[in-house]
Amino acid sequence: MKILLFDIDGTLLLTGGSGARAMTRAFYELFGVEDGLKGITLSGMTDPIIFDHACQKAGIEPTEEAHERFKQLYLTYLREEIRKDNSQKRVLPGVKPLLQQLSRQTGVHLGLLTGNYHEGARIKLSHFDLDRFFPFGAFGDDDSDRNRLVPVALRRFHEQMGEAVNGSDVWVIGDTPRDVACAKPYGAKTMAVATGHYDEEELRQAEADVVVKDLSDVDRIVAVLQNS
C-alpha cells in the first residue's frame, strides 16, 4: 500500500496569485494595512503562519479572534480571486494524467498535505476539477507547523479506511524544502518538483529522495512512487 500526500500550490497548480491577493485584501479590511503581505515568505508556509508573520511585520497582536476573522475574509475573497482571468493560472504539467493514472492503481491512496486552510485548499482544487482525487488530507488549520501534518493525514486515512500505515509506505510530493523536511521525522519518502520557487539543485540540497523538473513523465513517476 502507498499513501501519496500532495502539496497544492507550486506542485499541482498555480493560482496566478489569487491566494496572495485574497490574503492582502483580507488583511487590509481587517487592519487597514496596505500590502500587508509584502516581503512575507509564502512558499511552503502554512496559512496561519503567514498571518502571524504579516501581523508581526505590521506590529499587530495576532489573536485567535483576529485570525478567525482574517480566515473567513480570506476565503470569501479567494472565491472571487480564483475566478479571475490570469495568464499564470493553470494546472501544472502532467498533473491531471498523473492523478488519473495513480487513482486507478490498486493499493495507492491519494491525499493532501498542504499549508492551505482546508476550505482554501478545496476552493483552489475544485476550480481546476482536482478536488475529486483527494478524499483526505492535512491542512494549515489542523496545525500551523507543517512538520506536524504527516500524522494528521495518516490519522484521517485510518479513520476513513480502517487501515494503519507505516511511514515507509508514505510519499510526500511537494515543491519546497519545507515539504521535504516535514516528511523526514516520520520515515516518509519525498519527491520534490521544481515547478515552484525552488530549482532542482536547491531541492537536491534539501535531500529529497527524488527530484523531478515537473510531473510530466507520468509513467516514470508512477513507477517510482509504486516501487520505491
The per-residue pLDDT for 226 is 85
Which domains does the chain show, CATH number per domain?
A: 2-15+89-227 (3.40.50.1000), 18-81 (1.10.150)
Question: Is the entire prediction scored with pTM above 0.75?
Answer: yes
The per-residue pLDDT for 228 is 78
The per-residue pLDDT for 170 is 97
The per-residue pLDDT for 102 is 97
Mean pLDDT by 10 residues, the chain (228 residues): 96 97 98 96 95 97 96 98 95 98 95 98 98 97 96 95 88 98 96 97 97 97 90
pLDDT digits (tens, 9 = 90+) for 126-162: 999 999 999 999 999 999 999 999 999 999 999 998 8
Count the neighbouring beta carbons within 10 Å of the beta carbon of residue 144.
Answer: 18
Count the neighbouring beta carbons within 10 Å of the beta carbon of residue 26.
Answer: 24
Contact 19, 186 (CB under 8 A): no
Contact 137, 156 (CB under 8 A): yes
pLDDT digits (tens, 9 = 90+) for 85-105: 999 999 999 999 999 999 999
The per-residue pLDDT for 191 is 98
The per-residue pLDDT for 153 is 96
Residue written as grid cell 506536524: 148
